[in-house]
Amino acid sequence: MFNLETDVFILLGIVLFAACVFEFINGFHDTANAVATVIYTNSMKPISAVVWSGVVNFLGVISGGIGVGLSIIHLLPIDLLIDQNTGEIFAMVFAMLLSAIIWNFGTWYFGIPSSSSHTLIGAILGVALGYALLPNNTTVLESVNWSKAIKIFTGLLMAPVIGFTLAIILMAILKKVAPASQREMIFSEPDVRKKPPIWIRGILISTSTLVSFFHGRNDGQKGIGLIMLILVAVVPAKFALSPNTSLEDVMPQITQAESILNAIETSDNDQMGLIESSLSEIQYIKTSGNIEGEDLNIRASILKLSDHVSHLVQLENSSLTAGQKSELSKLLTQDEKGVRKLVDFAPFWVIMLISLSLGLGTMFSWKRIVVTIGEKIGKTHLNYAQGASAELVAATTIGLASGFGLPVSTTHTLSSGVAGTMVASDGLGNLQLNTIRNILITWVLTLPASIGLSAGLFLLFRMFVS
């Protein structure tokens, strides 16, 4: 299959399986975030809740794009993304997956809500840093896509803050607008011996469903990006370029971009260097289109062209007009659009594979973190208003992030939302400091731990394959 040597084919199967295991663990690791409130408030039976969450996660992955996955994969240096050294590629992929799996499984085992997104991004950055520090890499840390990293970190850091703040605001609104006859019930601890009124159940199940759906859309895309990274690296003849878009389809955009670049007048050395590099890549793409076996090199040129133009339009004191910047960005730098349609894609079977892995994982091992979310963040147990507020805020935040192609942490967004509702009810004194401390420590440690583990594993595996 794929015309690969037997040993390479076996290794490909192993890394694809490992990617599915990561998504499976991601599923049961993050399940509690979606089902904690409906289980804890007795709105749904545990088995029904996790099965429903699994189905909705599955639908979320299928209906989502791949922008989030692309955003984290492009943290890697372009040279590593198109590296034709199979051994180095496998070292990279195994390092990323093993470090992410180890950290995710460990935090789940101890019942600590931690972020699969932070873990995966840390693992990817670890490989990027390990690669940057290799003796033959002259660019060192410059090879890491820091602009993309800053954008991603901004989203990851802001989401919990937004979740915490919006949850407090939403609780304040609920206290004002809730009917006096219902206020005591919705702000009281649930009676575990009976189900809540049907309208409360409807709200809680709806908000839980939204969190599950948007979790699938956001986290599922990361798994799709991982699989595509593996396939492009190992089977470039099949997956370097989209089968649904040809080079001829994007040639008008390439020609238009070339015309704009040629029309730019500047004496600035930085701008001139980026323009010349961009035109050089365009020339290569135009002359290599009909040469068999050049798919991976064409992909590399498109990614480099996109990177050069992205830096060009972001330069301070640029001589480009606003119109030129806008047009070049639209033609060359936007994920899944313009020229990037040729390299930004995922076959349907990859989407289905990740959907099934995440959906099945969602149906297992929910209990550890449900208890943390429901009982250990606040000193009082989660009530109906708090559950609905936290879930609604989490779903909205994750949904918006997915729309902008930004990875966010479902775990931290929901946990911070629950913490916000606890503060809204009885102030900061209503938080269990031990749990909050553990969550914060995990939040702080996840990135450096996964970066260090991934970088170390990459350098170790590379020693064996080389």
Q: What is the pLDDT of residues 335-394, one digit of tens each?
A: 888 899 999 899 989 989 988 888 888 777 666 666 677 677 888 878 888 888 999 999
In 3D space, the residue among 27, 18, 16, 5 whose CA is nearest the CA of residue 357 turns out to be: 27
Please give the pLDDT value at position 144: 67
Q: Which residue has the higher pLDDT, 263 or 135?
A: 263
**pLDDT, average across residues 218-244:** 85
How many CB atoms sit inside 10 A of residue 313's CB?
Answer: 19
Please give the pLDDT value at position 305: 92
Per-residue CA distances from 122 to 7, 20, 167, 253, 449 (Å):
29, 18, 28, 35, 8
Distance of alpha carbon 238 from alpha carbon 231, whole angstroms: 8
Q: Which residue has the higher pLDDT, 66 or 165?
A: 165
> pLDDT tens digit string along 84-128?
677 888 888 899 999 999 988 888 777 676 777 788 888 988 988
Please give the pLDDT value at position 7: 82
Of the chain, the percentage scoring pLDDT greater than 90 comes to 19
Cβ(191)–Cβ(383) below 8 Å: no
Lowest-confidence pick of 27-31, 158-162, 242-246 = 27-31
Please give the pLDDT value at position 333: 87
Please give the pLDDT value at position 69: 77
* pLDDT surpassing 90 at residue 460: yes
Please give the pLDDT value at position 254: 93
Distance of alpha carbon 18 from alpha carbon 226, whole angstroms: 10
* pLDDT surpassing 60 at residue 140: no
Please give the pLDDT value at position 3: 65
> pLDDT tens digit string along 143-184?
666 776 777 777 777 888 888 999 999 999 998 888 888 888
Exposure on the CB side of residue 310, measured as CA atoms within 13 A: 16
How many CB atoms sit inside 10 A of residue 287's CB?
Answer: 10
Lowest-confidence pick of 24-28, 260-264, 308-312, 356-360 = 24-28
* pLDDT surpassing 80 at residue 80: no
Helix (H, G, I), strand (E, B) or coil at 100: helix
Q: State which H helix or E strand residue 7 sits in.
A: helix 6-40
Domain ranges of the chain: 6-237+346-465, 241-342
* pLDDT surpassing 60 at residue 329: yes
| Tokens 């702000």, located at residue | 187
In 3D space, the residue among 187, 181, 222, 259 whose CA is nearest the CA of residue 426 turns out to be: 187
Per-residue CA distances from 324 to 147, 257, 270, 313, 327 (Å):
21, 9, 17, 9, 5
Per-residue CA distances from 240 to 72, 196, 221, 316 (Å):
18, 53, 18, 34
For residue 344, what are the contacts with CB-CB under 8 A and spacing of at least 6?
A: 66, 70, 242, 335, 336
pLDDT band per the 50, 70, 90 thresholds, residue 457: very high
Please give the pLDDT value at position 330: 92
How many CB atoms sit inside 10 A of residue 271's CB?
Answer: 19
**pLDDT, average across residues 239-263:** 91
Cβ(305)–Cβ(274) below 8 Å: no
| DSSP summary character for residue 337 | S
For residue 177, what are the contacts with CB-CB under 8 A and spacing of at least 6?
A: none
Please give the pLDDT value at position 169: 94
The type of residue at 419 is A
> pLDDT tens digit string along 176-224?
888 888 888 888 877 777 888 888 889 989 999 998 898 888 888 888 8
Distance of alpha carbon 318 from alpha carbon 316, whole angstroms: 5
Please give the pLDDT value at position 281: 92
Cβ(285)–Cβ(277) below 8 Å: no
pLDDT band per the 50, 70, 90 thresholds, residue 31: low
Across the chain, mean pLDDT equals: 84
Distance of alpha carbon 11 from alpha carbon 305, whole angstroms: 32
In 3D space, the residue among 88, 157, 90, 77 whose CA is nearest the CA of residue 125 turns out to be: 77
Cβ(264)–Cβ(315) below 8 Å: no
Please give the pLDDT value at position 431: 86
* pLDDT surpassing 80 at residue 48: yes
For residue 103, what are the contacts with CB-CB under 8 A and spacing of at least 6?
A: 114, 119, 122, 446, 449, 450, 453
> pLDDT tens digit string along 279-291?
999 999 988 876 7
* pLDDT surpassing 80 at residue 461: yes
* pLDDT surpassing 80 at residue 139: no
The H-assigned helical ranges of 178-197 are: 180-186
Cβ(24)–Cβ(105) below 8 Å: no
> pLDDT tens digit string along 390-411?
999 999 998 888 877 777 888 7
Please give the pLDDT value at position 466: 63
Cα dihedral 208, 216, 29, 68, rounded to 10, equals -130
**pLDDT, average across residues 250-277:** 89
Beta bridge partners of 431: 378
Distance of alpha carbon 215 from alpha carbon 33, whole angstroms: 9
